[in-house]
């Protein structure tokens, strides 16, 4: 980090710059564990929703390519949209009971974890690969 100051950066400033560079290069152990947990929940909810909407088993999903799995996830999102809206309205209008009922449904789990993984991994997200890896475990 280059500064326009007339004095040299202090040791604290240099250390802060070094720490931020390390954080950008490597994730902490807690972040890696959190990403693995979100992937696991996402894959579980995806598998359940695909079984519900399309009747495909885990083995049949694994026969598809990564691009086809990603397209299947988009179709699953589209099919579950109406249920998601209903559950979201239930959570908002009946806070305690709605939250308890709706939060653990496969539809809400899939959408919630999909949003989380998109925030965590950002632009380099390959949903087909993530779901395939989760299904093979």
pLDDT one-digit tens code per residue, 47-73 = 999 999 999 999 999 999 999 999 999
The predicted pLDDT at position 82 comes to: 94
Tell me the HSE value of 15 on the side-chain side, using a 13 A CA sphere. 3
Distance between CA 61 and CA 54 in Å, rounded? 10
Higher pLDDT, 123 or 92: 92
Q: Which CA distances in Å does 56 have to 2, 14, 50, 76, 131? A: 56, 55, 6, 12, 14
25 pLDDT band (50/70/90 cuts)? Answer: low
Asked if residues 123 and 102 have their Cβ atoms less than 8 Å apart, the reply is: no
Distance between CA 68 and CA 71 in Å, rounded? 5
The predicted pLDDT at position 96 comes to: 83
């Amino acid at each position: 980090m280059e500064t326009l100051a007339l004095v040299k950066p202090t040791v604290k400033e240099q250390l802060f710059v070094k720490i931020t560079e390390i954080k950008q290069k490597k994730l902490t152990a807690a972040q890696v564990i959190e990403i693995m947990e979100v992937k696991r929940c996402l894959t579980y909810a995806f598998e359940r929703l695909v079984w519900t909407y399309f009747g495909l088993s885990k083995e049949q999903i694994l026969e598809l390519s990564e691009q086809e799995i990603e397209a299947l996830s988009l179709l699953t999102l589209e099919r579950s949209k109406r249920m998601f809206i209903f559950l979201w309205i239930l959570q908002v209008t009946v806070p305690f009971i709605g939250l308890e009922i709706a939060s653990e449904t496969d539809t809400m789990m899939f959408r919630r974890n999909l949003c989380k993984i998109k925030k965590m991994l950002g632009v380099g997200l390959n949903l087909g690969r993530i779901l395939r890896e989760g299904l093979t475990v």
